[in-house]
Structure 1
């Protein structure tokens, strides 16, 4: 396993920590990381200058640097920093962006055909080289000279460029890595992890077995049912060791058959299924002969293959992450990874509340996990009550961050009338979109489902399963790797959302409607009381507004045609509104006379009492 270190180099006390001193310590950690003879993970909170720090390092040392990231806007930011430091740079070419055929310039049919073969495992270069065999004609992007994608590849092949900027998958290209210092900016969640649906696996394996008469299986079902019988597993391993020890890709099968429904990784799929170890939690694990790792769920037969890039030729490797899940980074960069936490947890508390001047107001003790697909657990009515109350309290509209599914539901309910913008968790890392925004609300915590957690644990060879009876704060998967993945998916994603706001050191306030926050984060207020009105309460409120009288009795409300609750229920609703300060009651007369006090301020969906009100 890797090592974890906390930076204790600063002699400054927590009380004197400043934004500048925090950034200086981040820069020192980056400098030290590049000097190490093993990969180093720099764990530094957002706005500490991680990304700009690697450019400063390149300018000061003159060493060649390659940066791998995901966001095109960050590519432009890196280029701007390079220009300020007088560093030469190149954007590494993107097949989907730079090839005019693949990006749709020559029509949607061409775009779909190109991406279909790319999805089958052919590289962008292979598709261009084999275009005539695949399509019976040259690609439109090649008709009037060389494709922009291919010509850009030649330009970026030069070794004398100070900084190369590209996508994570460019790390698979050896000359982008060899002899250079490498940076991974944030964790590449799915870029080195390929997901194969059961249909794709079945077609690829069936095709492969139909062309290989030595392996002891006829088709995918035969492989699944009989892989452990007799000596078939041993025979399979021996045959691969003799004839295909590196599990070589098979682009030829796709090109010759013009078949984008199979895959170049068919050999690896056969090996992964044949040699699988049962983890006894409905997951299988295989260490492939070429060093890759594969896991497969027996529930849905989806196969995942983790293929970390070869970094042996790099002079140094540094990973940057504001909220890292260390076991996932170790799966990518190796067990020798050193985890360098720049600030202690106490210093982090100070950094967030004093250096960045972020006021974090937690509004619930519940974790409120929102399922990724079906949105289970989302309480839109409560969320709207809180959003409207925050707008009224702060005299401005907030920005809403939540899960993708919840965001869609809130937008359908017209949340745009109460917020200035919305965003979802999956589109936040590395984003500076809300750096100048002073008011935000984060609702709910992400939960991608138990299979997501189990899958990452399986990639580490661990068997994880939700411990019966655990949920929310007590949720436990019975394995340390799985629980770290859970924390990264939940608490770390919420923290990332919180820290999108006010990153310039000016005060910002973020309301957090989930308890999924790291314990070290300072809460600025006690929890508010949030009440959502029942249907009965809404009927009473409609009746009050409809009466258009200065005073009224319980009987006046009960007799209103829209009210279908008892006089006792009406009295309870009126008492609640009085307790909240919206109504007055004259109990010196009989029957009691009710009147409005702050009637126009009553929210349609509910009411919030904030700390101190």
Structure 2
């Protein structure tokens, strides 16, 4: 769904498109956002707003709704939920700048000293565990922090030492919320499990939340959940007494009367008391909801998955939080994913914010469909991004580069690209985003090349981060792929008809190798087709679900740069070493790493670099341990590339070589544009590099000395002046930041 900002109350829409400046678009975008928020809250409706990073979606929401009258808010509190504590604290500081009274709601680790382990040494162990570990174990069962504190007080025989002014801050904050002596309450997504934050509130959710149980890593394990379901079946005296029995019946006899009788037994059995959950090691407060969701489920259209949902508890007591529980099983009826989504139908109004919304993922994680309205159209976004943020995005190469586990990372290519960007930026480049599996490696390599301290973050922690907001140069490396299981979980949730596209196994498909001995496929002669495509009537929807991870993280990471729209900070150039990027964000496509040097060639360059002066061919032969011919041929090619200088020898005197000062010792990298189109004027920067034997013209990330009369500079006479002006703006902004 698109919100046409030019036809909405605009009789001269067409002509206004071509005349609006970036400042006009910023003002218009924020004005539309403000009106959208006010209308949604006043009408007590549910809506999503899509607007580019840096436009001020969240800040505008806070300022608009904090100043809205009771006739707009319905006398109900305004709650803004953010993805991380850093994002929450950043928006708290923003609100305070405008005199807005805020209430910050913190999770147990931030608010409760006992949960954070600060009192472990002075308190006795609970069931052989330090108190903080015991609290974490009970929280994994779904017990609330208030219930856990009550239990801890009973066991200690006194108030826990985390009290401040009579009560633990983790509990006290809810009394402060109830008093409503604030303009806006701020919290993280996870806090929305608390009913009070959804009970007729005006809720704003910034970025898509994730309300799934991990079943590995953080959160309860699959084994924990299986045991919890068995405990609840036994507590209800159900005819199917264990998860194993229930699973087998679903798998082999889904029409069995025993399944209906098991559902009736669960519904008629009273909910166990809180004390029972404390006593049972692997119990879980959501046990009944998970069982009812499974018993309500059915096989999906794709035929290989099973999913079911329920709202739990179905008949809650006063003050009890209700949630939408969805369970997905795979083709073997193994627990695959569990959604535990707060029941957002209880809010008065709901506004969802995202720069890159993927609606199938949003729907699964908030339990309802949300119509997202685009505040600016694609052309406006592009113009605003260039002119107001000064952000230029260069796609380097055409490979996807999945680096989820780091196996596909080429060290030499990565170093070659890093060195080229450092050189392009004249040493200013120091910030990179990459998958967590390779973040430390890439950051370490960059730290050895740049005169500045390298900074990094990894995909998954970029939401709401402003660390790179004032950086002029940046790079994002590769992408993370959630795998087919993640996509198929969402396919099952939405009951879509889609399967991963497969092809015949090259090793055993022709029966030359018995399939039972083939290690390349799953003994069925099929392997995953290249390109990560899907088959089925809903294949396109499945591909969008995949992009909701692959493209989203890349796009969000690019958005970490040049975030301060309207400030004269010179903007930023960001290089994306992946083709998994929304097309609307790509300004320039470059070839990237064309060739990499061999180990001996790299060593030659490193020797020249370390010497810093002329080195003879004979000395290099001794240092590197290769033939004179190999050195002459290799370094001769590097002279042509401007990496090495050469002094011809005479008579018995060998040639001498000297490092040119280039950081590039790993390969040949081309960041010249392959495709500019209508955005060409935003990027091209011409630089001429002269050596005794060759003159090369290439694009550079910073403005060099005056270019020679190359064909390109003749075709684009205005570009040198354009980027010289940009350079001056950048220098002035940096001086201002440095205090003059």
Corresponding residue number in structure 2 for 1:514: 578
CA contact (8 A) 2:471 2:561 kept: yes
Question: Per-residue deviation at 1:421?
Answer: 0.9
Corresponding residue number in structure 2 for 1:7: 5
Corresponding residue number in structure 2 for 1:467: 501
Corresponding residue number in structure 2 for 1:498: 558
CA contact (8 A) 2:434 2:457 kept: yes
CA contact (8 A) 1:89 1:162 kept: yes
CA contact (8 A) 1:196 1:304 kept: no
Question: Per-residue deviation at 1:277?
Answer: 2.9
Corresponding residue number in structure 1 for 2:68: 61
Task: State the Cα deviation string for residues 497-533 of structure 1 (Å, max 9, x = none).
Answer: 1121122343212122112222122424643444321
Corresponding residue number in structure 2 for 1:292: 325
> In 2, Cα distance between the equivalents of 1:49 and 1:357?
16
Task: Please say if 1:377 is aligned against 2:408.
Answer: yes
Alignment of 1:204-243 (within 5 A): 204-213=228-237, 215-228=238-251, 233-241=256-264, 243=266
Q: Which runs of 5 or more residues in structure 1 are unaligned?
A: none
Alignment of 1:85-164 (within 5 A): 85-107=98-120, 109-131=130-152, 139-141=160-162, 145-159=166-180, 161-164=182-185
Q: 2:386 aligns with which of 353, 356, 361?
A: 353
Corresponding residue number in structure 1 for 2:432: 400
> In 2, Cα distance between the equivalents of 1:454 and 1:66?
33
Task: State the Cα deviation string for residues 525-573 of structure 1 (Å, max 9, x = none).
Answer: 64344432112423555787899996867xx599758445795x65653
Task: Please say if 1:324 is aligned against 2:345.
Answer: no
Q: 2:223 aligns with which of 166, 179, 199?
A: 199
Question: Per-residue deviation at 1:201?
Answer: 1.9
Question: Per-residue deviation at 1:196?
Answer: 4.5
Question: Per-residue deviation at 1:350?
Answer: 1.2
- TM-score under structure 1 length normalisation: 0.86
Question: Per-residue deviation at 1:454?
Answer: 2.0
> In 2, Cα distance between the equivalents of 1:504 and 1:125?
41
CA contact (8 A) 1:434 1:500 kept: yes
Corresponding residue number in structure 1 for 2:285: 264
> In 2, Cα distance between the equivalents of 1:343 and 1:149?
41
Question: Per-residue deviation at 1:600?
Answer: 4.7
CA contact (8 A) 2:446 2:454 kept: no
> In 1, Cα distance between the equivalents of 2:652 and 2:289?
82
Q: Which runs of 5 or more residues in structure 2 are unaligned?
A: 122-129, 313-323, 504-526, 673-696, 699-740
Going from structure 1 to structure 2, the CA distance change for 1:237 and 1:107 (only over 3 Å counts) comes to same
Q: 1:79 aligns with which of 69, 92, 95?
A: 92
CA contact (8 A) 1:17 1:347 kept: no
Task: State the Cα deviation string for residues 324-366 of structure 1 (Å, max 9, x = none).
Answer: 1111122244555211011111222212222211122222211
Question: Per-residue deviation at 1:188?
Answer: 0.9
Going from structure 1 to structure 2, the CA distance change for 1:542 and 1:44 (only over 3 Å counts) comes to closer
The number of equivalent residue pairs is 603
Alignment of 1:585-596 (within 5 A): 594-596=655-657
Going from structure 1 to structure 2, the CA distance change for 1:55 and 1:138 (only over 3 Å counts) comes to closer
Corresponding residue number in structure 2 for 1:391: 422
Going from structure 1 to structure 2, the CA distance change for 1:230 and 1:504 (only over 3 Å counts) comes to closer
Task: State the Cα deviation string for residues 62-88 of structure 1 (Å, max 9, x = none).
Answer: 233111123223333433444454443
Going from structure 1 to structure 2, the CA distance change for 1:509 and 1:237 (only over 3 Å counts) comes to same
CA contact (8 A) 2:562 2:572 kept: yes
Task: Please say if 1:605 is aligned against 2:690.
Answer: no
Q: 1:537 aligns with which of 561, 582, 601?
A: 601
Further displaced range: 23-32 or 101-110: 23-32
CA contact (8 A) 1:121 1:264 kept: yes
Question: Per-residue deviation at 1:394?
Answer: 1.3
Going from structure 1 to structure 2, the CA distance change for 1:196 and 1:304 (only over 3 Å counts) comes to farther
CA contact (8 A) 2:419 2:663 kept: no
Task: State the Cα deviation string for residues 467-521 of structure 1 (Å, max 9, x = none).
Answer: 1269999432343332112222122221211121122343212122112222122
Going from structure 1 to structure 2, the CA distance change for 1:343 and 1:321 (only over 3 Å counts) comes to same
- TM-score under structure 2 length normalisation: 0.72
CA contact (8 A) 2:477 2:578 kept: yes
Corresponding residue number in structure 1 for 2:373: 340
Task: State the Cα deviation string for residues 107-151 of structure 1 (Å, max 9, x = none).
Answer: 272111111111111111111223356677753335994222222
Going from structure 1 to structure 2, the CA distance change for 1:382 and 1:48 (only over 3 Å counts) comes to same
Question: Per-residue deviation at 1:50?
Answer: 0.5
Corresponding residue number in structure 1 for 2:186: 165
Corresponding residue number in structure 1 for 2:547: 487
Corresponding residue number in structure 2 for 1:283: 305
Corresponding residue number in structure 2 for 1:50: 57
Corresponding residue number in structure 2 for 1:174: 195
> In 1, Cα distance between the equivalents of 2:307 and 2:500?
18
> In 2, Cα distance between the equivalents of 1:155 and 1:547?
67
Structure with the greater relative contact order (CA < 8 A, sep ≥ 6): 1 or 2?
1
Question: Per-residue deviation at 1:389?
Answer: 2.0
CA contact (8 A) 2:602 2:665 kept: yes
